[in-house]
Structure 1
Amino acid sequence: MAWRIEGTYFENCNCNMVCPCSTSGLSAPADYDRCRVVLAFHVASGQVDDVDVSGLTVAVVADTPPLMSEGGWRMGLFMDEAASPEQAESLGAVFSGQRGGPMEGLGPLVGEMLGLEVARIEYVDDGRTHRVRIGDAIDLEVEDFVSPLDATGKGIRVSGVGFPADTLAAGTATRSRVNAFGLEFENEGKNAFSAPFSWAA
């Protein structure tokens, strides 16, 4: 059976704006010795086989070497406590890459799975501002960057990225606190990306 999910996503890492990892297809090194990143995905609508997964949120926390394509990622996954057991199993299969799609390509890069936790996830996408709070583990807010000299107000877009979407809005974190899976970091003022996403396999 096929699956499809679509919604909005945003991320925050400890690179400076604009992160070289994502914009180089993982072929250029991060700005610092380790890349520490959170990616939050809100599924506005989705179906995995016969399971409706609409309205749920999943977040990925990762700690990687500076050159992400070398592998050795340490990664943990947060699942929305609002998900039923069937929904959690279905979304978990998609975001672990077991069901193909974009996350399957990252599978060989993961050297250590730090765990899966179920938590209350509050996700807000306000157009240019994006927020997620995950229990006591993550408190994150990012804003898309718009230059005061940009008369269009559209902001900076990076195209041709591919994952998790082809075109990402560039921005920075206004609030960033993470204490999860044995990783503790703050990326306030650092790189952020956001975009609508649409995956299927």
Structure 2
Amino acid sequence: MTMEVGTVPWTIKGELILNCNCTVFCPCVVSLGDHPPTEGYCQAWSGIRIDEGQYGDIDLSGLNVGLMLEIPGKMARGNWKAAAYIDDRASDEAFEALVHIFSGAAKGTTGLFKMLVSEFLGAERAPVAFDTEGKTRRLTVGKIIQGAVTPIEGKDPDQDVVATNTNYWMGPDITVAKADKGKVRAFGRVWDFDGRSAEICQIDWKGPGR
């Protein structure tokens, strides 16, 4: 019997990177969306590397996902626009499962998308590459997203600068980074966020409960 969407147990463990148009580190991490982005609005791309993942009996391990996000003001006020790019190596079942998760329909950690995203621009298959070279993480989604982020250097260059024990929805420990490259060409948007705020986060998401 097929389980209803929103009742299927799922998990994703891996790493997330994000680059937005904020000129300094994203205020949303510590204000939880109560403080507006530095430019008054948010435009962002994100990449997710799934090291281990399940949606019911469907294996999601080894797949990557790219996201495009547009938020008109404070994160917590909603009215987001979002699009998802699903690894073209995904099976039809895995593609459908990842759409459920990243649209918020599967509830759980990403369930807030269902509440905050007013316009889901869609999900499509694309070649999504998430690579790590030294401390730099690179995301390539076809010709749509070309991104690279590197942690900023702290007093001890061997230790990342990390905001720990936060209540941020993505995860409690957010590594402060900066974009070496952040180019997006999608849905009529042409963005270039080179040198802008970026984040790196180890994720351990699940659903349908929190």
TM interval, short-chain normalised: over 0.9
Residue by residue over 1:15-39, the C-alpha shift from the partner in whole angstroms, topping out at 9 and shown as x without a partner, is 0221112221111000113210111
Please name the residue that 1:199 is paired with.
Answer: 205
CA contact (8 A) 1:17 1:171 kept: no
Residue by residue over 1:135-179, the C-alpha shift from the partner in whole angstroms, topping out at 9 and shown as x without a partner, is 1111000001113xx236212111214321110100100011100
CA contact (8 A) 2:30 2:168 kept: no
Please name the residue that 2:22 is paired with.
Answer: 15
Please name the residue that 2:173 is paired with.
Answer: 167
Please name the residue that 1:155 is paired with.
Answer: 160
Letter in 2 for 1:154: Q
In structure 1, the residue corresponding to 2:76 is in which secondary structure? Answer: helix
Letter in 2 for 1:63: E
Q: How do 1:89-168 residues align onto structure 2 when only pairs under 5 Å count?
A: 89-126=96-133, 128-147=135-154, 150-151=155-156, 153-159=158-164, 160-168=166-174
Letter in 1 for 2:87: D
Cα distance in structure 2, aligned partners of 1:11 and 1:199: 16
Residue by residue over 1:102-148, the C-alpha shift from the partner in whole angstroms, topping out at 9 and shown as x without a partner, is 2102321111111212110111134521100101111000001113x
Cα distance in structure 2, aligned partners of 1:40 and 1:152: 25
CA contact (8 A) 2:102 2:113 kept: no
Q: 2:189 aligns with which of 183, 190, 197?
A: 183
Deviation at 1:44, TM superposition (A): 0.7
In structure 2, the residue corresponding to 1:90 is in which secondary structure? Answer: helix
Alignment pair present for 1:4 and 2:11 = yes
List runs of 5+ in structure 1 lacking aligned partners: none
List runs of 5+ in structure 2 lacking aligned partners: 1-7
Q: Name the Cα RMSD after superposition.
A: 1.4
Cα distance in structure 2, aligned partners of 1:197 and 1:126: 19
Q: Which consecutive aligned stretches of 4+ in structure 1 deviate over 3 angstroms post-superposition?
A: none
Alignment pair present for 1:55 and 2:62 = yes
In structure 2, the residue corresponding to 1:176 is in which secondary structure? Answer: strand
Task: Give the 3 Å change call, closer, same or farther, for CA 126–197 of structure 1 in structure 2.
Answer: farther
CA contact (8 A) 1:131 1:141 kept: yes
Task: Answer with 191-200 or 106-115: which moved more.
Answer: 106-115
Letter in 2 for 1:68: M
Cα distance in structure 1, aligned partners of 2:132 and 2:42: 24
Letter in 2 for 1:176: G
Alignment pair present for 1:25 and 2:60 = no
Alignment pair present for 1:68 and 2:90 = no
Query: How many residue pairs were aligned?
Result: 199
